[in-house]
Amino acid sequence: MQYENIVVSIEDGVVTVTVNRPDKMNALNDATIAELTHAFTNLPDGARAAILTGAGEKAFVAGADLGMLAKLETAAEGEANSRQFHETLDLIEDMKKPVVCAMNGFALGGGNELAMACHARIATKGLRMLAGQPEINVGIIPGAGGTQRLSRLIGLEGAARMMRTAAPMSSADALAAGLISEEVDGDLVPRAIELVNAYASGALEIPRIPRDPMGEIPESLPEVDLGHHSTVIDRILCSTILNGARLSLREGLALESRAFGECVETKDMHIGMQNFIENGPRAKAEFVNE
């Protein structure tokens, strides 16, 4: 298959998959997701491990292509879009061969969700902004696993605060929280190769996100300053985080898809999308909480 949005190479049994849309900050659209699915389903003969990274030096993956999301009109369309992302990310997560994400720049929204589906994550050292889930800025919740995987990686309250406020993490904060395993000076790929070879040989155990229910879950989350954010989207988000944590990972992801569809039928989702497209990411949407 000839890829347009990713580049696949192999050397000494290690496959490198690079998201290659630098003009779009490597944002994920339908075509890119389909190509990632094909690439990880059809790894070259002799492959024993894989690395996932992004083209350029500024972004690993800036998130989902909002032009794609803005076209969603019904809950069914929103749920189907979320499930499409889940199928690809679940495929990566379920790989028996180890997959390490080399986060060469910031990973926002779907980019962070894609990274979390990999078995381990390393990042360029000293990034002031590495990871974030800023979906609430545009009137949606994370729809590619963020409401479920982030809690299981860094803890429920920290994950909820990150998603509810859209506050990003630096690479140092991500290391301290457990989102990444290492900060790396210079080129990430040689260190990623060392890690996947250690996982593939059994010298290191492949880390996996726990898939069971998370255990004792509070009835509600601590209050945060929502600022200009939509209270109706925050309500959907909190419910999805809490109820998903009480379920297995796969059941929680299905819940997330339904909740993402619910967002599509709110006024605030369309206000947020239109504001972003017309005014850019720095302009605050005037949500109506409906």
Here the CATH number for the domain that contains residue 13 is 3.90.226.10
The pLDDT value recorded for residue 165 is 97
Give the pLDDT of the chain (290 residues) as one tens digit per residue: 789 999 999 999 999 999 999 999 999 999 999 999 999 999 988 899 999 999 998 999 999 888 889 999 999 999 999 999 999 999 999 999 999 999 999 999 999 999 999 999 999 999 999 999 999 999 999 999 999 999 999 999 999 999 999 999 999 999 999 999 999 998 999 999 999 999 999 999 998 999 999 988 999 999 999 999 999 999 999 999 999 999 999 999 999 999 999 999 999 999 999 999 999 888 999 999 99
**Number of folded domains in the chain?**
1
**39 lies in a domain?**
yes
pLDDT attached to residue 121: 98
User: Any residues with CB less than 8 A from the CB of 26 and at least 6 apart, and which?
Assistant: 19, 20, 54, 55, 56, 59, 60, 61, 62, 111
* Domain range for 250: 6-279
- Look at residue 78 and tell me if it is in a domain: yes
pLDDT of 30 reads 92
pLDDT for residue 237: 98
Residue 288 lies in a domain: no
CB 12 within 8 A of CB 18: no
Query: Is residue 114 domain-resident?
Result: yes
pLDDT of residue 131: 97
Tell me which of 79, 93, 113, 256 is the catalytic residue: 113
Q: Does 93 qualify as catalytic in the annotation?
A: no
* pLDDT value, residue 48: 95
What is the pLDDT at residue 65? 85
Strand segments (E) across the chain: 6-11, 14-19, 49-54, 59-61, 99-103, 106-108, 120-124, 131-132, 182-184
**240 located within any domain:** yes
Domain assignment of residue 1, yes or no: no
Give the count of beta carbons closer than 10 Å to the beta carbon of residue 118: 22
Q: 35, 79, 93, 135: which is the annotated catalytic residue? A: 135
Q: Is 113 a catalytic residue?
A: yes
pLDDT of residue 281: 86
State pTM to two decimals.
0.96
Q: Is position 287 within any domain? A: no
Task: Please report the pLDDT score of residue 215 as a whole number.
Answer: 86
Residue 286 lies in a domain: no
